[in-house]
Amino acid sequence: MNEYTLSQHFVAYPVFNIRVTYRYRKVRKPTVFDKLIMSLVMDFPQLKQKSLGEIIQSMQLDEVFIRKTLEDMLEAGLIEDIDLDNDLNNIQIEELILTNHGEKFFKEKKMISRRKSANENFFFNPLINAYEQFHNIKDNQIDIKLDHELFTPNQETLTKLSINKMAELSWVKSDIDLESNGIDNNIDIEQIKWKTAKVSLVLDNNYNVTLRCDDKLFKSWLDNRSLDVIHNKIIKPILDKADNIIEPILNKIKIDNLNNLLSLVLADQNTDLKQLKQTVPINFSNAQEFNNQAPYIILNNNHDEAKLKDQILSISCNQEYEETITKIFWDPCSFNLFYEEIGYIPAYFHHQEIKLPVRILSKNENNQIAELSALNNPNFDTLAFMANYLPYKEIIEKFPKMDILEAISFKEQFEKNWNNKKFITGSPDIWAEKINLLNNNDEIEKFTKLFPNIPLSLSKINDNLHSTLIDEAFKNPKSQIAKTAELSHLFKLTNELSKFNDITRIQLNLINQDTMKKFIEWESIKLEFKRKYPKINSIELDKRTQNITNFYTKINELFEPISPNKKFAVLDTDFIRKYPEKLFNIQKDRIVILSKTTLDELDYQKEKSQKDIYEANKILNSIQTDSLDQEIKDTIEDIENINNKIKEFESQIQNKRSILASLKNHSEKENV
């Protein structure tokens, strides 16, 4: 069986302030005169016929002390009443009679002093019939105060509690004696305190109302009360308070089945909205605003386009609703509509019919709001409102095609209205697909700023701008067009290969296998780009294409591929020195390869030969002689012979240089 908790209340019951007066006497040792009088009464029956005055005179005692002792004993209730105004000679000993209290103290050989009193305050809890410590309850924790007459304590119970409490009182000592009927319990009605118990008013689906309480003490008290007391003192005040919320003109709420309700509470309670989650409150333009806290929707009949202002969406609607409806909630995700109504439903408390003022929440099956054009074909204001409730992807799917400026305006409006600094939280590519073609650099910049994580594509740019934008991109490599998915790699390779634009100056150290691969890759990417975008006519791209193509062609001519049948000859320094005459024939049918060591040794030999010639010339220049002419002649001949040898040697060196240069060129070509 389904049940609804209509309301919960703190019901206050009284904790009585009991002002207790204790009357008591202190126990002391008896004086001589106390002992005398008690002894005369109890121990000397033979003196009963004597007067008190005679005995005093015979014992030569002061009458004043005797009278004072008798007064104290009368006041303490130790002797029966006598007339102390008489002459003591007229008071017979037999007239002095000890009370039971007096006999008790006589036997114990003790005496009590004059009466004393003490006042104490206790708090009496009627639910436990006991005194207890009390902690103040704030007034805002009390919903209903029960009449204190329902809990008036029994005096006999209070007396027993007050006696038991004496053991805890600081002034109570072992030498005191509580008087008979020596306790007065006074209930201070003006100083009543209150304790609370939480009760719940519950309705089952058979319309029966019951009162529930988890407080065991208060529940026990309720179980022992009559139904009239429970109804008149608790349930009726609860219903009266809820009844004040409802206007007299409201009729009964039509309910087919209680099981279909989302929430059912008393009219003065708040509807349980936990089940609604992402719903939007709806108000009427001709009704008082039920919720000052935006966001919500206002329905009006002015036929204007939906408008969003400060989290409040105004839309046109000509529907009329029952007077019992106080709130409408709309779920943008499911388009479901929910009504909150205030009115009366019939109910029963122990078979007694009662008029139950309630507030209910139910799902509306005839959802006319969902059919409104403003919601089915939302404009940007409506979408900006709904974006606070719908998942990112769902709201984007509802977007129409839009310019980039409209997209930025929507984002700014959303962030302003909802104090949300980041609208794009899902997949931005879904929204980017809704953006119209970009028509200029400014729109391109705005697009990349709005969608920084989406690669810019030529497909997002107007075809008529492609050629112009590409030309501008070559002049400004940092432009956004150079970063498009279709152009980014082509631009990168083009810029890298643009340094090979001077055919007359080839830097051999930059020509390697990786460089040649980049030429081939660039050619492939360029052809694919031309195939996809045949209408693009970029002057800058064509110019760079021509330069790169010319350079690549020249490189291929200079470094033609070597036939696999070609023979090689690797020569060292010794071979070149011993067989210089064979070098010419070797070069005809072989590619000569010289190691770096061989080249270094040949260079060294060249330098050494030049040095030897220099030394010989130096020796010749230093020769000074006064010899005979023959000796001079011989010397001249020797010099001529040496010069001839030098010329012959230089000729050999020149031939070797030519051979080495040829070998070196072939070697470098092979390496390429």
Query: Beta strand pairing status for 296-300 and 312-316?
Result: parallel
Q: How confident is the model at residue 8 (pLDDT cuts 50, 70, 90)?
A: very high
pLDDT beyond 80 at 487: no
Q: For the chain, give every domain's residue range.
A: 1-29+112-243, 30-109, 273-342+351-390, 437-558, 567-671
In this structure, what token pair is assigned to residue 273? 């909205």
Query: Beta strand pairing status for 111-125 and 130-131?
Result: antiparallel
Which residue has tokens 């007065």? 184
- Name the CATH topology of 30-109: Arc Repressor Mutant, subunit A (1.10.10)
Which residue has tokens 């209290």? 101
Instruction: State the Cα–Cα distance between residues 166 and 131, nearest whole angstrom.
Output: 12
Distances (CA, A) of 257 to 4, 268, 285, 349, 581: 13, 22, 32, 19, 121
Give SS3 for 560. coil
Instruction: State the Cα–Cα distance between residues 199 and 201, nearest whole angstrom.
Output: 7
CB 41 within 8 A of CB 206: no
Query: Beta strand pairing status for 325-330 and 307-309?
Result: unpaired
DSSP string for residues in 257-271:
-GGGEEEEEETTSPP
Across 136-140, 212-216, 563-567, which has the greatest mean pLDDT? 212-216
Higher pLDDT, 12 or 328: 12
Higher pLDDT, 516 or 421: 516
Distances (CA, A) of 100 to 6, 76, 81, 468: 65, 12, 13, 130
Q: How confident is the model at residue 232 (pLDDT cuts 50, 70, 90)?
A: very high
Q: How confident is the model at residue 634 (pLDDT cuts 50, 70, 90)?
A: confident
In this structure, what token pair is assigned to residue 7? 């309301």
Higher pLDDT, 371 or 598: 598
Q: How confident is the model at residue 147 (pLDDT cuts 50, 70, 90)?
A: very high
Give SS3 for 290. coil
Cα-flanking dihedrals φ and ψ of residue 586, to 5°?
A: -60, -35
As a whole number, mean pLDDT of residues 471-495 equals 75
pLDDT beyond 80 at 581: yes
Closest C-alpha to 309, from 317, 318, 300: 300
pLDDT beyond 70 at 670: no
Closest C-alpha to 295, from 248, 261, 330, 336: 330
Whole-model pTM: value is 0.55
As a whole number, mean pLDDT of residues 416-437 equals 73
CB 119 within 8 A of CB 21: yes
In this structure, what token pair is assigned to residue 649? 């040697």
Least confident range of 12-26, 290-304, 371-385, 527-541: 290-304
In this structure, what token pair is assigned to residue 3? 């049940």
pLDDT digit string (tens) for 591-626?
Answer: 777 777 888 888 888 888 888 888 888 887 776 544
Instruction: State the Cα–Cα distance between residues 50 and 668, nearest whole angstrom.
Output: 167
As a whole number, mean pLDDT of residues 235-246 equals 91
Radius of gyration of the chain (CA): 61
pLDDT digit string (tens) for 45-61?
Answer: 887 878 877 888 888 88
As a whole number, mean pLDDT of residues 647-654 equals 73
Helix %, strand %, coil % for the chain, to 5? 45, 25, 30
* pLDDT averaged over every residue in the chain: 80
Instruction: State the Cα–Cα distance between residues 384 and 312, nearest whole angstrom.
Output: 11
Q: Residue 555's Cα: distance from chain center in Å?
A: 65
CB 8 within 8 A of CB 211: no
Instruction: State the Cα–Cα distance between residues 76 and 418, nearest whole angstrom.
Output: 86
Instruction: State the Cα–Cα distance between residues 425 and 419, nearest whole angstrom.
Output: 15
What is the predicted pLDDT for the residue at 425? 53
What is the predicted pLDDT for the residue at 456? 79
Q: What is the DSSP letter of 365?
A: S
As a whole number, mean pLDDT of residues 568-578 equals 82
Report the run of H or E that residue 115 belongs to, with start and end. Answer: strand 111-125
Q: How confident is the model at residue 160 (pLDDT cuts 50, 70, 90)?
A: very high
Give SS3 for 150. helix
What is the predicted pLDDT for the residue at 651? 76
CB 273 within 8 A of CB 293: no
pLDDT digit string (tens) for 259-298?
Answer: 888 899 999 999 888 888 778 888 766 544 445 566 888 8
Residue 306: count of CB within 10 angstroms of its CB: 21
Residue 441: count of CB within 10 angstroms of its CB: 17
pLDDT digit string (tens) for 71-126?
Answer: 778 877 778 888 777 777 777 778 788 877 778 777 777 777 777 888 999 999 99
pLDDT beyond 50 at 436: yes
Give SS3 for 583. helix
